Structure 1
Amino acid sequence: MQGCDGSVLLNSTNQDAEKDAIPNLSLRGFQVIDAAKAELEKQCPGVVSCADILALVTRDAVDMIGGPVWSVPMGRRDGVISLKKDALTNLPSPFASFEQLKSSFIKKGLNVKDLVVLSGAHTIGTSHCGSFASRISKPTDPSLAESYATKLRIKCKPGDNKSLVEMDPGSFRTFDNHYYINLRRKRGLFASDAALVTDAEANSFINSALASSTSNSTSWFFTEFGRSMEKMGNIDILTGNAGQVRHHCALVN
């Protein structure tokens, strides 16, 4: 992962690209980015980067399912390097402890509050069984509610690493604070989710998110999520003469 330079959109060529790394195998919607890019190239070729399109689509997708809206500065340029190993090194692992998560975020200029509110994005989407299989194999991970583990075992049979499971059961298509309710019930899907409740500072931010309205554009969670997304959207960006504006988001010019 090179930064916010659209590198995750590149297809593998001589080496496996980021999108082929295990943490990225559940990513969807590349065709949406490609369609937006194709239309923009018709209207203003070589102007809008894939990195900017990805940042805008992320914001608009969250908005469409009831989430907050945040400012997206434009002018990023696209990277030309995409390596599977970089994604494995730089993306926080679903098996990470709190200290590992905290360290990973600090290296990118993000703090514990950013860690907690950005983890709230797990209120939407799905994950492969392999990302949490070790937690549901008996004996069950003690940080996971046994009743929840029983339900997960029905969906994820031993050795099944590919089936998809909702990250926020019953609310995975709506952006709200239900993720934090699950944390308190020991129903965080990943070990990295459960790790958040092991730290006092992180717990204070979880409490703030829980005190927010379930889905409210002026709530603490929505406001802070938007701020953290703005910060994350500026990590290791390329500007000026660095990188390029790709003609097709899956291919280097």
Structure 2
Amino acid sequence: MSPFSVLFCAAFSVCWLCCVTNARLTLDFYKDTCPQFSQIIRDTVTSKQIASPTTGPATLRLFLHDCLLPNGCDASILLSSTPFSKAERDADINLSLPGDGFDLVVRAKTALELACPNTVSCADILSAATRDLLTMLGGPFYPVFLGRRDGRSSLSSSVAGHLPTPSMPIPQIAQIFTQRGFSVEEFVALSGAHTVGFSHCSEFVPNLSNSSSSYNPRFAQGLQKACADYRKNPTLSVFNDIMTPNKFDNAYFQNLPKGLGLLKSDHGLYSDPLTRPFVESFAKDQNKFFQVFAHAMQKLSLLNVQTGRKGEIRRRCDQIN
């Protein structure tokens, strides 16, 4: 069976599950109410990505940080804090989320409100834009089911323990994903999102001098040089994948056995016997990585979605109506 046939079969099985569990979500949800939806998303994604190449990884991370929380894919990560409530986006782990992802959603929402007022949810915009950006970067295509409603609540206190951090041991990170219904293989595939984007020096420099470090010595020296002034300039950052930083591929997994991972959690994927077999598998077979990643992303996009009378269609993505 060809890789494309395998991907089609996997997508079909997921689609069947989606249709059963989320009957109100459809691939053509806006066919009649906003036929320009897909084109507006594509146009917005294309112009933003060309103007700012960090948009793809920024939006992917924003999507992951929204959907992994217990309230699921409800665009609650986009809500701003109020004088009475501190929102998810202001939780410590989310303070480093790049602004390009937020800006992309605002641009798409503005265009969609002009074309189809009060029709398209911010949650659908984020899900569709993430998929389109991934394909622009060379990643796999997967169908995005639409019809989500936006959440009305966003609390920073709900974030702790539900999102992985670079310093977490692999079993703890794996548990975050398995508790949300993902297999270990899917967790490793989603970690492959680090094949694009960057990380701030403060997230990995403290690990470079560790005597038991898994870093390639020359790579560690290069990182120390690149991050020499990170205490004075906390915005200093380095590409997660130094080989093909702007292309979504399996180079990230090929880097790990060579000691070219950037974060402690990256090295952990290869050193931990629970995850190492999947790292090796994805390093050898990019089609396999794409297949599992696409399946996991679609699965993630459907976690705890609100439909029908639940939630709302926000007029602005940063505040409830």
Same fold (TM over 0.5): yes
Q: Which runs of 5+ in 2 are unaligned?
A: 1-68
Shift of 1:141: 5.0
Could you say which structure has the larger radius of gyration?
Answer: 2
The question of whether the paired residues in 2 share the 8 Å contact of 1:98 and 1:198 is answered with no
Q: Aligned pair 1:143/2:211, yes or no?
A: no
* Partner amino acid, structure 2, of 1:6: A
Question: Which whole-Å CA distance do the structure 2 matches of 1:248 and 1:100 have between them?
Answer: 36
Q: Match for residue 13 of structure 1?
A: 82
The question of whether the paired residues in 2 share the 8 Å contact of 1:51 and 1:77 is answered with yes
Q: Match for residue 247 of structure 1?
A: 315
1:226 to 281, 284, 294: 294
Question: Which whole-Å CA distance do the structure 1 matches of 2:82 and 2:246 have between them?
Answer: 34
Q: How many residues align?
A: 247
* Partner amino acid, structure 2, of 1:209: F
Local SS of the residue matching 1:200:
coil
Shift of 1:201: 4.1
Question: Which whole-Å CA distance do the structure 1 matches of 2:91 and 2:135 have between them?
Answer: 28
Alignment of 1:143-222 (within 5 A): 143-157=214-228, 159=231, 160-213=233-286, 219-222=287-290
Shift of 1:140: 4.9
Cα gap change, 1:166 to 1:80, in 2 (>3 Å) = same
* Partner amino acid, structure 2, of 1:240: G
Q: Match for residue 123 of structure 2?
A: 51
Q: Aligned pair 1:90/2:162, yes or no?
A: yes
* Partner amino acid, structure 2, of 1:250: D
Cα distance per residue 1:7-55 (max 9 Å; x no partner): 1111222233222334331323312111111121122222211011000
Q: CA RMSD in A?
A: 1.7
Shift of 1:212: 1.6
Alignment of 1:122-141 (within 5 A): 122-136=194-208, 138-141=209-212
Cα distance per residue 1:193-227 (max 9 Å; x no partner): 111123334222112211224xxxxx111111100
Question: Which whole-Å CA distance do the structure 1 matches of 2:312 and 2:169 have between them?
Answer: 37
TM-score with structure 2 length normalisation?
0.72
* Partner amino acid, structure 2, of 1:150: Q
Cα distance per residue 1:94-134 (max 9 Å; x no partner): 11111101111111111101111001010001111222132
Percent identity among equivalent residues? 38
Local SS of the residue matching 2:199:
strand
Local SS of the residue matching 2:165:
coil
Q: Which runs of 5+ in 1 are unaligned?
A: 214-218
Question: Which whole-Å CA distance do the structure 2 matches of 1:140 and 1:37 have between them?
Answer: 49
Local SS of the residue matching 1:89:
coil
Higher relative contact order (Cα pairs below 8 Å, separated by 6+ residues) = 1
Question: Which whole-Å CA distance do the structure 2 matches of 1:227 and 1:185 have between them?
Answer: 28
Q: Aligned pair 1:103/2:103, yes or no?
A: no
Q: Aligned pair 1:32/2:89, yes or no?
A: no
* Partner amino acid, structure 2, of 1:55: S
